[in-house]
Each structure stands twice: as structure tokens, then as C-alpha cells.
Amino acid sequence: MKAIIEYTDYRKFIQDYYDERKRDSAFTWREFARNAGFSSAVFLKYVCEGKKNLSISAAGSVANAMGLAGFEKTYFVLMVTYAHAKGDEAKMDAFEKRCALARAHKVRVLGGEEFDYYKSWKNPLLRELAPNMPGARPAEMARACKPKISAAEVSETLDFLEDANLLKKDREGNYVQTDKSISMGSVDAVPLAAKDLQRQMGELAVKALDLPLAERSMSGVVVGLTQDSYERIKKELLECRRRVIAIATESDKTQRVYRLNLQLFPISERLDKCEENKVSGVGENEMRR
């Protein structure tokens, strides 16, 4: 069985624990449930199947039944806490606690580096900027950033990018990218951090409106769509993003680092739903709620 630190889903961990015990003995779900203090013989089976949820208060008892103690028990409880977290902020807090716990015990959380990468706009900026400023000191890189950041922030970011194996130094001591492009990881907490990064980039886009027209390209259109046309446009934007990446990676040279935001979002309610609400007698004030 894999180490607990390699899991992000507490249900999968419980199932793997049961399967391993079952292979080596006559272990049953009834025995497992009894050891964890549950009266229902199939409760933990239903938890693994997604039919029931394990409460945070009961997580410790299940951890004890699986022989977890110390750091591993705390990690298991944090996995359950993450599953129960409501809202992005709570989920990010629970994931960060797991990462901090792992780092304190010299182990790595699956997806931890990816999660941290998407938390700040400085990470993708310095990942592109540093390899194209050979021999530059942090203070010089800081002056090249828009908006400006400190040399200390540059140093901290470069250290992280090296630790995360997103940048490395060549024989001359210059930074090079370990991969030409990267994509979002599969760990479910990573999109939460990516959402925060997109928010930061959106704020930078607003500030970029003050740049000369020769230095920026911004346009938009307001259109009425059906769900089908919306899905088709989403695919078109995805294909456009792929083509942009292909163009960007054709050359090994960089003169300037850019950010491209592709955004398609509703600025009205569903009109067919509004009509349904009118027919069913829902008032305008209720619709606004």
C-alpha cells in the first residue's frame, strides 16, 4: 500500500487499506466498522463507494482503527477536513495545512508544488523572465517586472521555482526552464489556486488599460448565445489558446513576457429560466434572490 502522503482522497485510502487487509486475512467490513466504533457493518463500505460521508469528528476513530498515529493520523483527518470544506478559501486552507504538515516531516504532498505555483502571478512571470536574463541579479529582474516587485521577492520566487523543479541552473549558473510549457495538475486543490491566480491576472489586466495602445491588445464583444453556441465557442477558445502556445514555443528567444486572458462569462440570467419563473408565478423580487 502507498504511503498516506501520496493520497488526496480519504475514501481511496480507506479502500486501499481494506483491500490490503483483505488479501492477507479474513478481514471484513463488519470487523473494520466495529474497530472504528460504528454500529452499521457496511458504513465504511458505503463511505468508500461515496454513498456516505465520514464526519470530521469520526475521522480520528477510523484513523485509529487503521493503525495510524502521530503525523499520519493528523494527515488523514486533514484529508477528511478538506472533503468537508465549504468554499474555495476553506478548501485552500485545509490543503495548505496538509502541505505544511508534510514539509515539517520532510515529505512531499502530491500536487503541493503545483498548488503553490498557481498561488502568485510572480511565479509564471519569473519562470519566463529569469531564463531570458542570463547573468542578471535579482535586483535587475525586479526592475524588469510589471508591476515592480522587490529583489527579495524575486529571490524567494526563484528559490521556489528551483525547489519545484520548474527552473534549474546550467553550468554557467544561468536559469533554464525544465519544460517549455506547463499545464495545470490533476490534484483537485490546484484549480482553486489557479482561480486565485486568474483573479490576480485580471487585476493586472485592469491596470494594463493605462498602457499605450501600441503595448496592449484588448477588445471584447457582447453577444446573445444558446447553450450549444456557448459550448462551441469554448472549444474555439481552447483551440485558440493551443495555437497561441504553439506560436510562443516556436522560438527560443523572448523580448518581453506577456499575459493573455481568454474570458467568456455571462452578464445576464438565463432568459428561458426567467420565462419559466414568470409562467410559474415567481415574482421579480424572488427572481433576484
Residue 182 confidence (pLDDT): 66
Residue 112 confidence (pLDDT): 60
Q: Which residues of the chain have pLDDT under 70?
A: 105-115, 181-193, 274-289
**17 and 88 part of one domain:** yes
**69 and 121 part of one domain:** no
- Distance from chain centroid for Cα 280: 40
**98 and 125 part of one domain:** no
Q: Output the nine-digit C-alpha cell for 104.
A: 515539517
Residue 153 confidence (pLDDT): 95
**89 and 38 part of one domain:** yes
Peptide bond into 147 cis (omega under 30): yes
**134 and 190 part of one domain:** yes
Domain hosting residue 176, numbered range: 111-212
Domain boundary among 108, 140, 172: 108
**125 and 197 part of one domain:** yes
**167 and 249 part of one domain:** no
CA atoms of 130 and 11, how far apart (whole Å): 41
CA atoms of 136 and 143, how far apart (whole Å): 11
Q: Are 29 and 40 in contact (CB under 8 A)?
A: no
Q: Output the nine-digit C-alpha cell for 59.
A: 475521522
Predicted confidence (pLDDT) per residue in 27-65, tens digit: 999 999 999 999 999 999 999 999 999 999 999 999 999
CA atoms of 161 and 230, how far apart (whole Å): 37
Residue 96 confidence (pLDDT): 80
Q: Which CATH number goes with the domain that contains 40?
A: 1.10.260
**195 and 250 part of one domain:** no
**98 and 122 part of one domain:** no
Domain boundary among 181, 212, 243: 212
Beta-carbon count within 10 A of 26 CB: 7
By three-state DSSP, how is residue 177 classified? strand
Domain boundary among 66, 93, 108: 108
**54 and 141 part of one domain:** no
Q: Pairing between strand 175-177 and 167-169? A: antiparallel
Residue 270 confidence (pLDDT): 83
Residue 286 confidence (pLDDT): 43
Residue 93 confidence (pLDDT): 83
| Helix 151-163 vs helix 122-129: crossing angle, to nearest 10 | 80
**101 and 130 part of one domain:** no
- For the chain, count helices (H), then strands (E): 14, 2
Q: Which CATH number goes with the domain that contains 127?
A: 1.10.10
Q: Are 158 and 168 in contact (CB under 8 A)?
A: no
CA-atom Rg of the chain in angstroms: 25
Domain count, the chain: 3
**208 and 225 part of one domain:** no
